[in-house]
């Protein structure tokens, strides 16, 4: 007999979870590159349960904001960040914050797959090694296998772990980068246009992976592909000219956005 009790009813894939754990919060964030203001007064909560997508035209500030979330903008000399960004209630810009530790907790996947020119195994083992997460070779093997499995790459990689990561296809390289991010057991994964260099099949695999990782990690994805945002996210934020115009359930943003600027952008009437 079928068990129809509530806990066995799978959650609808596309719906935003309403009971959420807030993982990161941003309040009144302003970012300047020299004299130019790139981001104006952005406030947002990012939850563990829902994938959050940032959309908007080029130069709207979405990638800038994503980079603030693990202090990647520290590497840009002219960049200045004001406001408050917290991870589990801790201000990540406070003095004494260990940025290396922060980036282990808030991992990042970039537009162009960027595996190290090392073996597949070493690519994944790199983070755990420098963070001292594995005591013995066997521990490290476990982490590498587990990370590759979660990244959906184990079956393709298990017989070639010694080969160079750069010898893989673009889609495989991107999943290797996700495996590398996962290997240090992060809490948040930031993805900056992770599929823009990939073909549709490799893109679909990444999207399926995002769906599988949802809930385990808080995931934020920047994408230029509106359909991708609609497919993978439950929450969407629309950025325009440095401000966050609208933030809401993906199901509403793409069927009935409340801001005219959002509507014009997603229906292809922008500018």
Partner 1 sequence: MSDMNPSHTVKSFDNDIHQLRSLITQMGGLCEAQILAAVEALMRRDADAAMQVVATDARIDALEAEAEELAIQIIARRAPLADDLREIVAALKISSVLERIGDYAKNIAKRASALALSAPVQPMVIIPEMARVVASMVKDVLDAFVDRDAEAAYEVCQRDAGVDDFYSSLFHSLLTFMMENPQHITPSAHLLFIAKNLERIGDHATNAGEMVYYSATGRRMTERPRGDDTAFATAAPAVAA
* Nearest CB to partner 1, comparing residues 14 and 117: 14
Give least dist CB 252 to partner 1, A.
Answer: 8
The span from the CA of 66 to the CA of 123, in Å, is 24
Which helix (DSSP H) or strand (DSSP E) does residue 123 occupy? helix 120-130
Please name which of 176, 138, 178, 132 lies closest in space to residue 157, comparing C-alpha atoms. 176
Give least dist CB 39 to partner 1, A.
Answer: 25
Counting contacts by CB under 8 A, is residue 266 touching partner 1? Answer: yes
The span from the CA of 53 to the CA of 233, in Å, is 6
Counting contacts by CB under 8 A, is residue 200 touching partner 1? Answer: no
Q: Are 173 and 166 in contact, with CB atoms under 8 Å apart? A: yes
Give least dist CB 254 to partner 1, A.
Answer: 5
The span from the CA of 48 to the CA of 42, in Å, is 19
Contact pick of 116, 166, 226, 243 for partner 1 (by CB under 8 A): 226
Give least dist CB 60 to partner 1, A.
Answer: 16
Give least dist CB 268 to partner 1, A.
Answer: 5
Counting contacts by CB under 8 A, is residue 112 touching partner 1? Answer: no
Encoded one letter per residue, x for contact with partner 1 by CB under 8 A and - for no contact, window 230-249 reads x-------------------
Q: Are 239 and 60 in contact, with CB atoms under 8 Å apart? A: yes
Q: Are 159 and 78 in contact, with CB atoms under 8 Å apart? A: no
Residues 246-265 that bind partner 1 (CB under 8 A): 254-257, 262-264
The span from the CA of 23 to the CA of 178, in Å, is 20
The span from the CA of 64 to the CA of 244, in Å, is 12
Counting contacts by CB under 8 A, is residue 59 touching partner 1? Answer: no
The span from the CA of 141 to the CA of 33, in Å, is 43
Counting contacts by CB under 8 A, is residue 270 touching partner 1? Answer: yes
Give least dist CB 29 to partner 1, A.
Answer: 27
* Nearest CB to partner 1, comparing residues 101 and 258: 258
Point out which residues bind partner 1 (CB under 8 A).
226-227, 230, 254-257, 262-264, 266-271
């Amino acid at each position: 007999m079928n068990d129809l009790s509530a806990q066995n009813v799978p959650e609808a894939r596309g719906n935003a979870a309403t009971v959420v754990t807030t993982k990161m919060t941003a309040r009144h964030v302003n970012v300047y590159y020299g004299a130019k203001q790139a981001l104006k007064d952005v406030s947002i909560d990012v939850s563990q349960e829902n994938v959050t997508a940032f959309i908007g035209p080029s130069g709207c500030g979405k990638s800038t904001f994503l980079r603030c979330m693990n202090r990647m903008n520290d590497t840009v000399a002219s960049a200045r960040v004001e406001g408050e960004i917290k991870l589990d209630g801790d201000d990540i810009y406070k003095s004494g914050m260990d940025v290396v530790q922060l980036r282990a907790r808030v991992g990042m996947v970039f537009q162009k797959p960027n595996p190290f020119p090392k073996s597949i195994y070493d690519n994944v083992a790199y983070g755990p090694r420098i963070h001292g997460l594995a005591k013995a070779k066997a521990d490290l093997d476990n982490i590498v296998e587990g990370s590759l499995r979660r990244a959906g790459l184990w079956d393709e990689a298990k017989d070639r772990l010694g080969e160079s990561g750069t010898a893989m296809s673009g889609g495989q390289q991107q999943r290797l980068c996700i495996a590398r991010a996962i290997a240090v057991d992060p809490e948040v994964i930031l993805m900056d246009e992770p599929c823009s260099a990939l073909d549709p099949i490799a893109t679909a695999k990444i999207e399926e992976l995002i769906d599988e990782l949802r809930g385990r990690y808080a995931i934020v994805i920047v994408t230029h592909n509106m359909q991708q945002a609609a497919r993978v996210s439950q929450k969407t934020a629309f950025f325009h000219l440095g401000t966050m115009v609208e933030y809401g359930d993906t199901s509403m943003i793409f069927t009935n956005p409340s801001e005219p600027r959002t509507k014009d952008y997603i229906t292809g009437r922008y500018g």
